[in-house]
Chains A and B, each alone.
Chain A
Amino acid sequence: MTAKTRQPVLTAAGPAGDAPGWQARLARLYDSDICYSFRHAPLVVAAALLFLLMIFAAVFAPWLAPTNPYDLKTLNLLDSLLPPIWVEGSDPRFLLGTDSQGGGILSLIMYGARVSLTVGALAVSVSVSLGITLGLVSGYIGGKIDAVIMRIADIQLTFPSLLMALLIGGITGSVLPDRLQAQFAIPVVILALGVSHWPHFARLVRGGTIVEKEKDYIAAARLIGRSPFAIMFRQVLPNVLNPVLVLATLDVAFAVMGEATLSFLGFGVPPTQPSLGTLIRNGYAFLFSGEWWIVIFPSLTLVILVVAVNIIGDWLRDALNPKLR
């Protein structure tokens, strides 16, 4: 079995130009500089594993969580405010204790991380799509359109994105009539976070586009009469996408942090579908009455998530920077 899977790997080192199989590609990836530096950075490996574990736990929360904190039938007020199991007076069913409704903190965190990561990922997709579109148009067409778009980006970059998101989210929220507020709370958060971060992506894409558009294959595409939009999205985009994907991955951490901050301030995800930020907001009141676990564990989860992504990002920046090799 192992011999069979090994064989193509050995042949992949043979004549160049062969279309390599997936094993060969994996082998090449394993031997690549970036993977070598990954394997030799134990902290980064640990962070990556932790990050994957958290995503896994969040995605499969309905199947993995010990209890369902949103199933009112299973909630029992007699279970409320139980401490974590290593503290006296705890219940072995609830590893990290319970909140005021009797929901297990561990389960709440898993479900909360699910909402947080979803909102984060969607917010990043908003900024990526906005950034790619505006960056491509700006870089490829140039001229006045470029000047206008980049001016707006510059102005927006001088404001902290959190403030921007808070303004967009808070103002949209307060403009909407009350009955729509709860319904649109999550889309508003996604939009606010997404819009607050597009300039980073737009700048990156614009820079790449300006380099690419001078190349021969673009001239060829123009010559055979492709429309500018087809060239932008079919020819230029695939060649400028790599750094965008890297930045997007890292940006999820910032979006999650932004979502948590907005929710903590009360302008984010509604309490009916708690995210990590909402959990921290709800638990904050209990900090002073001694039930510290309700707020501390969601806070730590958020910190670990963001730290893990930042460690990976920090390593990736160095690994991708040829100057530092």
Chain B
Amino acid sequence: MTAFITRRTLQASGVLVVVSFIGFLLFTFTGDPVASILGLDATPADRDALRGRLGLDDPFILRYLTYALNAAQGEFGISYATARPVEEVIVERLPATIELAAVAVLFSLAIGIPLGVYTALNRDRWLARFVMTVSIVGVSLPTFVVGILLIFLFAVGLGWLPSFGRGEVVKLGWWSTGLLTVSGLKALIMPALSLAIAQSALVARLVRAEMIEVLRADFIKFARARGLRNRAVHFHHALRNTMIPIVTVTGIQLGFLFAFSIVAEAVFQWPGMGLLFLQSLGKTDVPVMSAFLILVAFFFVIINLAVDLLYMVIDPRLRIRHEIAEGVAGS
């Protein structure tokens, strides 16, 4: 177990080193920070002084190490566009994206799991077949199109929900939350739904496929033979054994939601990380771009690690298998 965690952590740090290097390359070879900060009419002496102060005259490797060390401490330099520390800008935007992604995951699981269980248990009913066909449509809906259709329906047509922004937010320390006000919750519904619809269709299809597979297994027959009630068999035996793929998918989903939240944030002008990234791309704000790149990589590495560890918590068989593998490797 410990060996497994160590190995995975080493792999993860390898990925982070590579990505931080790419982020650094981006930082070094695009744009001229001196020109960006001082403007075009600075004197050569001023420029040289700033170059020295920013450490741009140091050797390449030293600069990378400085960059990586600073990044590890959460310092990513000064944003060209806003002239503020990048980490300050990011911390301001982070809560909005995390709340959006978390609510979207909840929505997709809340819609997806029941639909998947229903369609697996009632495979031949027309309603189940209908749900499956609709789910293909759901999987293929691009996030921004869902967003636009939702706005068309609920904001422009019915006028029930706001079409942009986060509504009122409440400050809890450095965290700003929209979950505690009515306008904040109303503003959250459509962006979260536009992210969740495609994902919930995916979850439903996955749960259905896994459930059907598990229901064929011998232990389900034995459970029935023992005279257990259907409900106990379906939910205690069958659904529980479909949890592994669901956990994986939820993990991968979190990542996907992070990516697609860029799109949802653009449609709904949601003031989160995604919008920040798009703005930084538009303005060639390299420090923000690099920081975003590294943070995303960090986020994904953590998710993958967490998913792997959760497997072992859920499925005791995997724990034993790993111990055997390690025992063989160790001997």
> Which residues in A have some Cβ–Cβ distance to B below 8 Å?
43, 155, 158-160, 162-163, 166-167, 170-171, 173-175, 253, 257, 260-261, 264-267, 280, 284, 287-288, 290, 292, 295-296, 299, 302-303, 306-307, 309-311, 314
Contacts and interface: CB of A to CB of B under 8 A. Distances in A.
B73 to A, nearest CB: 24
B260 A162 contact: yes
A261 B136 contact: no
Contacts of A288: 156, 163
A160 B256 contact: yes
Contacts of B160: none
B282 A260 contact: no
B140 A158 contact: no
Interface stretch (B2-10, B42-50, B55-63, B146-154): B146-154
Contacts of B145: 280, 299, 302-303
Nearest to B286: A174
Contacts of A266: 278, 282
B259 A163 contact: yes
B30 A174 contact: yes
A280 B140 contact: no
Interface in B235-272: 255-256, 258-260, 262-263, 266-267
Given A175-B29, A288-B156, A296-B149, 19 more contacts: A155-B18, A158-B300, A159-B259, A159-B296, A160-B255, A166-B262, A170-B281, A171-B281, A175-B30, A261-B143, A261-B144, A265-B263, A265-B266, A295-B152, A302-B142, A302-B145, A303-B137, A306-B142, A307-B140
A162 B259 contact: yes
A288 B155 CA distance: 9
Contacts of A295: 148, 152
A129 to B, nearest CB: 24
A260 B266 contact: no
Interface residues of B, number: 41
Ordered nearest first, which 8 A-B pairs have the shortest CB separation?
Answer: A163-B259, A160-B259, A170-B281, A306-B140, A310-B140, A174-B284, A307-B140, A299-B145
Given A287-B148, A295-B148, A253 B263 contact: no
A111 B300 CA distance: 38
A80 B77 CA distance: 48
Contacts of A260: 142, 144
Nearest to B144: A264
B133 interface: yes
A307 B256 contact: no
B contacts with A: majority SS: helix
Given A163-B259, A265-B266, A284-B148, A310 B139 contact: yes
B140 A253 contact: yes
A267 B284 CA distance: 13
Interface in B189-246: none
- Among B30, B143, B262, B281: residue with most chain A CB under 10 A: B281
- Among B142, B281, B284: residue with most chain A CB under 10 A: B142
A161 to B, nearest CB: 9
A280 B145 CA distance: 9
A162 B264 CA distance: 13
B15 interface: yes
B156 A287 contact: yes
B185 interface: no
B109 interface: no
- Among B136, B151, B163, B278: residue with most chain A CB under 10 A: B136
A139 B259 CA distance: 31
A266 B145 CA distance: 15
Nearest to B149: A299
Contacts of B297: 159
B15 A159 contact: no
B133 A43 contact: yes
Given A159-B300, A160-B260, A303 B282 contact: no
